[in-house]
Amino acid sequence: MIERTLLSETEIGTRLDELAKEIDERYAGQEILAVGILKGSVFFLTDLLKRLKTPVAVDFLQVRSYSGTSSTGNIQMVHDLSTDIEGRHVLLFEDVVDTGLTLRKILELFSSRHPASLRIAALLKKDIPENRDLSLDFVGFTIGPEFVIGYGLDLDEKYRNLPYVAVWRPEK
């Protein structure tokens, strides 16, 4: 069901090298608390953190927002952090920013917990009007509005382990 490969393993790796450098520069002299939004961001987060020189701690949270290939519009906390983020430099990892609803909700919640700083690293950002006002600090790739799979991104829990990102072709 793959229409075409959008980002190869090599392209992703090269971009992660660049992002790691940007992040190291931005956090010079600080320690990062990397927060992965489960489950999609896990591949991005681990591959990126392995490239960082900045000291880093890791935590995860899980929210539910999607069913199949369309947004439900609802965000539900499934699993919260095990770490207190107050006074920490939090870097949130998101696999793909679509409407931005997930991030907006998480940003709102996290801001109320008083981190020293709160930034976002997104592997993919869809180029759509809904997310234009959302400021992202580190973006891997800007893509079109298509539904994508692979490199952490699933369709009903399948395809996450593809080493590349592909455009999914719906059954006609």
Q: Is 123 in the site for ligand 5GP (CB under 6 A)?
A: no
Question: Judged by CB under 6 A, which of 6, 12, 96, 118 binds ligand 5GP?
Answer: 96
String marking each residue 40-59 x if it binds ligand 5GP according to CB under 6 A: x-------------------
End-to-end CA distance of the chain: 11
**164 touching ligand 5GP, by CB under 6 A:** no
**Binding-residue total with ligand 5GP (CB under 6 A):** 19
CB of 104 to ligand 5GP, least distance (A): 8
In 3-state terms, the chain is what percent helix, strand and coil (to 5)?
Answer: 25, 40, 35
Does the bond joining 39 to the residue before it have cis omega, within 30 degrees of 0?
Answer: yes
Contact between 149 and ligand 5GP by CB under 6 A: the answer reads yes
In contact, 82 and 25? CB cutoff 8 Å: no
Q: Supply the residues annotated as catalytic.
A: 98
Between 49 and 148, whose beta carbon lies closer to ligand 5GP? 148
Q: Which of 161, 147, 121 is nearest to 39 (CA)?
A: 161
Smallest CA-to-CA distance from 111 within 83, 150, 85, 149 is with: 85
User: Smallest gap, in angstroms, from Cβ of residue 125 to ligand 5GP?
Assistant: 9
CA-CA distance, 112 to 107, in Å (whole number)? 9
Contact flag: residue 3 with ligand 5GP (CB under 6 A): no
Binding site for ligand 5GP (CB under 6 A): 40, 65-66, 71, 94-102, 147-149, 153-155
